[in-house]
C-alpha cells in the first residue's frame, strides 16, 4: 500500500553511509511496564478488605464478607533470579495494587499502606510528622512472601510475658509498661544462593612428643612440626537472608530473624490488604556484597576445617562464585513501642513464629548487687587465707581457693554485665 506520509508511522531515522541519503528503520517496540494494579474491595458492600493471618483469606472490615485463600506454598523451591541485567529488567515492578506511601519527616523512613488506611504515624519512630503521596510503582516487585501466621490480638500477651522474663529488668516493668497497638508490616529481605569453589593452602602444625637425654637422664618435650597442606572446597550455600531495610535495629532483627522459608508463597497483592509494607532501601547490589562477605567467611571456615589440625598459619584461599541467584521477598513482622518511666522502647514480634525481641530497661542496682554477691565469696576466702598466712597458719591453700572463687565470680560477672549492656543498648 502506498502512502503519502513519509516517513511511515512507527519509523525513525537511522544512520546513513551515503551523504544526502536519508534512511529510516522501524522504531523499537517499547516494553510494557509492569503496572498492573488492582484494588481489593468487598464485592458485597464495596468497603476495603483485610488479610486474615488465621487462614490467609480476605475479610471485609465492614460487613464481614469472607473470601477464602487461593495460594500455594512453594517454600525454598521458590524460583530464583540469576545475576544478569536481563533478569533485573524482566522482573515485575510495583506493588500490584494502589497504595499510599508515608514519608516520615523525623526518621526519613518510607512505608506503604492501603489507600483506606487513616494512619498518620510512623511505625518505626512513632512520629506523626508524615507526608502522604501515591506509592511509586517503579521499584522491583517482591517475588515471594511468608504470610502472617500470628494474629495482632495475641501480640500483647506475647510482649507482656517477654517483659517479665528477665530478672535484670525493673519489677514493675511488666505491670506498668504501656504497650501501644501492634502494627503488622511486611519488611523487605533478599535471599541469595551460590556454590563457592575455593582452593586453599596453609602451614598446618602437629604437636609431637620426643625424648631426649640431658644431664644423665631421659626427659620428654613437645614441639610443633609445620607442614604445608592444600585442598579444594565446593560449598553449596542456599537461602542466605539479608535485610533490605535500614530502619530496624540490626541487633533486634537478628534476634527475631528465625523465619521458616518453607512457608514462602508467591507474592500476591491481596496479602498486603489492610497491612503496611516497606520497599527495600538496601539495593540488590549492596545486599549482594553483604552476602558475599558472609559466604566468603563460611567458605574460609570450610577450608580450615579440611586441615588435619586446628593449628594453622600462612593461610591463603582463592575463591570463585558459581550459579549465583537471588530473590526479593517480604517477611511478616509486628512492630510497636511501649512507654516506661517516661521513656519509649521498641518491640518487634516475628509474624510467623511469634519470636519477640526489643528494648528493655535494666535495673542496674539489681545487676551490681548480683555482681557483688558473685565476687564476695572469693574476696572473703582470699582475705581469710591471707590473714591466716600472716599468722603462720595454713593460709596458702585457703588463699588459692579464694583466688579460684574470685576468678570464677569475675568471669560470671563480666558475662552478666555484658548481657545487661546488650539489653540496655538494643
Query: Taking residues 60-76, what's their average pLDDT?
Result: 56
CA distance linking residue 196 with residue 280, whole number of Å: 27
- Which residue from 169, 197, 89 is spatially nearest to 345, judged by alpha carbons? 169
The pLDDT score that the predictor gives to residue 64 is 58
Angstrom CA distances, 230 to 108, 210, 308, stand at 50, 27, 10
Mean pLDDT of the 186-206 span = 94
Distance CA 313, CA 203 (A): 5
Is the pLDDT score of 28 beyond 60?
no
**pLDDT tens figures, 121-171:** 777 777 777 777 677 666 788 889 999 998 888 888 888 888 877 788 777
Residue position matching grid coordinates 542466605: 240
Predicted local confidence at residue 40, as pLDDT = 47
* Averaged pLDDT for residues 312-334: 92
DSSP state of 26: E
Gap between the Cα atoms of 106 and 198, Å rounded: 46
**Cell numbers found for residue 35:** 503496572
**97 vs 248: CA distance, rounded Å:** 25
Q: What is the end-to-end Cα distance of the chain in Å, rounded?
A: 75
- Higher confidence at residue 288 or residue 21? 288
Strands (E), 244-310: 265-266, 276-277
With contact defined as beta carbons under 8 Å apart, do 65 and 50 qualify? no
Q: How confident is the model at residue 36 (pLDDT cuts 50, 70, 90)?
A: very low
Task: Kindly report, residue by residue over 91-112, the tens digit of the pLDDT.
Answer: 656 666 667 778 788 888 878 7
pLDDT on residue 210: 86
Phi and psi dihedrals of 374, rounded to 5? -75, -35
306 pLDDT higher than 90 = yes
Considering the chain, what percentage of its residues have pLDDT values greater than 90?
Answer: 30
Task: Reply yes or no on whether the pLDDT at 76 is more than 60.
Answer: no
DSSP string, 97-118: B-EEEEEETTT--EEEEETT--
For position 271, what pLDDT does the model report?
Answer: 83
Task: Please indicate whether residue 100 or residue 265 has the higher confidence score (pLDDT).
Answer: 265
Query: Is 51:36 a contact under the CB 8 Å cutoff?
Result: no
More confident of the two residues 178 and 71: 178
Tens of pLDDT along 235-264? 999 999 999 998 888 888 988 988 999 999
With bands split at pLDDT 50, 70 and 90, how would you rate the model's confidence at 45?
low
DSSP state of 328: E
Tell me what pLDDT residue 171 has: 76
Q: Which helix (H) or strand (E) holds 421?
A: helix 395-425
- With contact defined as beta carbons under 8 Å apart, do 195 and 234 qualify? yes
Q: What is the C-alpha separation between 75 and 147, in angstroms, rounded?
A: 12
What would the mean pLDDT of 318-344 be, rounded to a whole number? 88
Amino acid at each position: 500500500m502506498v502512502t503519502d506520509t513519509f516517513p511511515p508511522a512507527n519509523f525513525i531515522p537511522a544512520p546513513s553511509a551515503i551523504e544526502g541519503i536519508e534512511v529510516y528503520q522501524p522504531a523499537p517496540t517499547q516494553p510494557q511496564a509492569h503496572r498492573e494494579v488492582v484494588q481489593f474491595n468487598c464485592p458485597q458492600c464495596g468497603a476495603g478488605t483485610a488479610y486474615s493471618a488465621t487462614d490467609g483469606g480476605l475479610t471485609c472490615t465492614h460487613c464481614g464478607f469472607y473470601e477464602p485463600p487461593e495460594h500455594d506454598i512453594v517454600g525454598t523451591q521458590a524460583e530464583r533470579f540469576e545475576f544478569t541485567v536481563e533478569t533485573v529488567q524482566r522482573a515485575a515492578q510495583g506493588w500490584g495494587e494502589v497504595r499510599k506511601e508515608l514519608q516520615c519527616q523525623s526518621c526519613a523512613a518510607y512505608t506503604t499502606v492501603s489507600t483506606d488506611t487513616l494512619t498518620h504515624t510512623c511505625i518505626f519512630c512513632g512520629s506523626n510528622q508524615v507526608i502522604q503521596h501515591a506509592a511509586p510503582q517503579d521499584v522491583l516487585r517482591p517475588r515471594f512472601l511468608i504470610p502472617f501466621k500470628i494474629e495482632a490480638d495475641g501480640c500483647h500477651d506475647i510482649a507482656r510475658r517477654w517483659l517479665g522474663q528477665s530478672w535484670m529488668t525493673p519489677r514493675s516493668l511488666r505491670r506498668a509498661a504501656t504497650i501501644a497497638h501492634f502494627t503488622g508490616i511486611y519488611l523487605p529481605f533478599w535471599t541469595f544462593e551460590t556454590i563457592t569453589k575455593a582452593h586453599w593452602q596453609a602451614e598446618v602444625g602437629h604437636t609431637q612428643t620426643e625424648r631426649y637425654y640431658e644431664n644423665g637422664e631421659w626427659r620428654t618435650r613437645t614441639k610443633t612440626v609445620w607442614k604445608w597442606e592444600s585442598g579444594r572446597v565446593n560449598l553449596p550455600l542456599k537461602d542466605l537472608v539479608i535485610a533490605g531495610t535500614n530502619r530496624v535495629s540490626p541487633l533486634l532483627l537478628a534476634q527475631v530473624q528465625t523465619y521458616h522459608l518453607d512457608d514462602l508463597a508467591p507474592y500476591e497483592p491481596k496479602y498486603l490488604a489492610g497491612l503496611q509494607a516497606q520497599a527495600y532501601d538496601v539495593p540488590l547490589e549492596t545486599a549482594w556484597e553483604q552476602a558475599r562477605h558472609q559466604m566468603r567467611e563460611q567458605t574460609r571456615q570450610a577450608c580450615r576445617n579440611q586441615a588435619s589440625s586446628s593449628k594453622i598459619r600462612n593461610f591463603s584461599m582463592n575463591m570463585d562464585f558459581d550459579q549465583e541467584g537471588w530473590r526479593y521477598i517480604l517477611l511478616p513482622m509486628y512492630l510497636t513501642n511501649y512507654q516506661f518511666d517516661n521513656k519509649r522502647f521498641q518491640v518487634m514480634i516475628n509474624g510467623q513464629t511469634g519470636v519477640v525481641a526489643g528494648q528493655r530497661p535494666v535495673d542496674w542496682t539489681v545487676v551490681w548487687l548480683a555482681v557483688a554477691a558473685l565476687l564476695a565469696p572469693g574476696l572473703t576466702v582470699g582475705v581469710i587465707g591471707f590473714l591466716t598466712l600472716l599468722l603462720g597458719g595454713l593460709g596458702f591453700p585457703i588463699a588459692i581457693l579464694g583466688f579460684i572463687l574470685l576468678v570464677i565470680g569475675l568471669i560470671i560477672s563480666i558475662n552478666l554485665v555484658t548481657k545487661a549492656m546488650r539489653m540496655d543498648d538494643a
